[in-house]
Structures are given as structure tokens and as C-alpha cells.
Amino acid sequence: MQVALVIATDLDGVIGLDGRLPWHLPADLKHFRRLTLGKPVVMGRRTYESIGKPLDGRTNIVLTRRADFKPEGCLVADSVENAMALANRAVAARAPGAPIAELDPTIESGPLADEVMVIGGAAVFLAFLSRATRIYWTRVEAHVEGDVRFPIDAAAWSEIARTDHATDARHAHPYSFRVLERRALTAPETEA
């Protein structure tokens, strides 16, 4: 299953301020929902706490080292490997005829997801970065105040899609929706 990061940054890589997004872009929230609906989402405990509840229509997997953290409606993993195993099991549980209730009673049958969506925060993005083959990136075309950054190394990624949006009555900053694919690693040429 493909691993995708779903991230929003400003021009300097800012992703957060005081445990929340440092901007309000309603179109980005709708875009995020469209991208992640029906797919497993992996987030850190602090990201889950900032949201305050499981995201509907998605298998919510919270990555944490706290063994006592058991939020209702979520699966909990203590490692990247365990989070991936839970995501794979959740997708398999959606297959027609699968015993979905034993894994997660909130899962409904439907089309099988081909991506695990990693939604933050910075430590979770970093933990999954080497496995990620795609980034869904909302780039806020502004410099905003923030206390958490996650700069994207453009040299490692190729932009395969982009939609630009201007400011309007509901969006104080211009922004773009971008899709990045990991560049193939090429072996160094050898001399003959």
C-alpha cells in the first residue's frame, strides 16, 4: 500500500502554531476531506488531540508511545510498522464479506483504499518520510508565524499536478494544491 503525506505549509515550511494550523483555508479543509475519505489516516497523539475526535469515514490510527492512550473510535499503534499493519488490516476489513466488526466497528464496506494517509504532526511526517511515495501538499503562498516546521526537500520530489488559487473573501492567502511523487533513485554511472 502506498504511503502519502498530506501536508500544508507556508513558504518557509511552517505547519503549525500552538498545536493548530496557523491559517484558515476552508477550501483546504474540503480538499483534505476529499483526499482522505475512505482511507486509513495516521496521526500523532497531539494531532489527534488538536482535532479532538476521530475523523468520520476514515480509519483513524494514532501513533503514540503512551500505552494508556486509547481514544474511542481510533486504533492505536506504537510504531510505524504497527501503524502500517493496522492500515493494511483496515483495508482488508473493507473487502466484501470481511469480518469488519472484529477490527473496527466504524469501518463500512466500500472500495479498497490504495493509500495510507499520514496527516501529521512533524514527528509523524518524519517517521514516515522514507516510506512515502507521494505528498499531497497545500502550499500557502505567504510567510506566517509558526512554531512547527516541516520543509519539503524539492530535490527528492517531482511535481505531477498543481492547482493555484487566489485570495478571496474566505481565503486570506493565495494557495496551491500540489501532488508530488518521489523521484526515482538512480544508480551512479560507472566508468567502463
Is the bond leading into 73 cis (omega within 30 degrees of zero)?
no
Q: The domain spanning residue 8 has which CATH number? A: 3.40.430.10
Each residue's pLDDT tens digit, 125-174? 999 999 999 999 999 999 999 999 998 998 999 999 999 999 999 999 99
What are the counts of helices (DSSP H) followed by strands (DSSP E) for the chain? Answer: 5, 10
Instruction: Note the pLDDT of residue 113.
Output: 76
Q: What is the CA radius of gyration of the chain?
A: 18
Query: Is residue 126 a part of any domain in this protein?
Result: yes
Each residue's pLDDT tens digit, 3-29? 999 999 999 999 999 999 999 999 999
Query: Is residue 127 a part of any domain in this protein?
Result: yes
Q: How many domains does the chain have?
A: 1
Over residues 69-85, mean pLDDT = 96
**pTM attached to this predicted model:** 0.87
Note down the domain range covering 161. 2-182
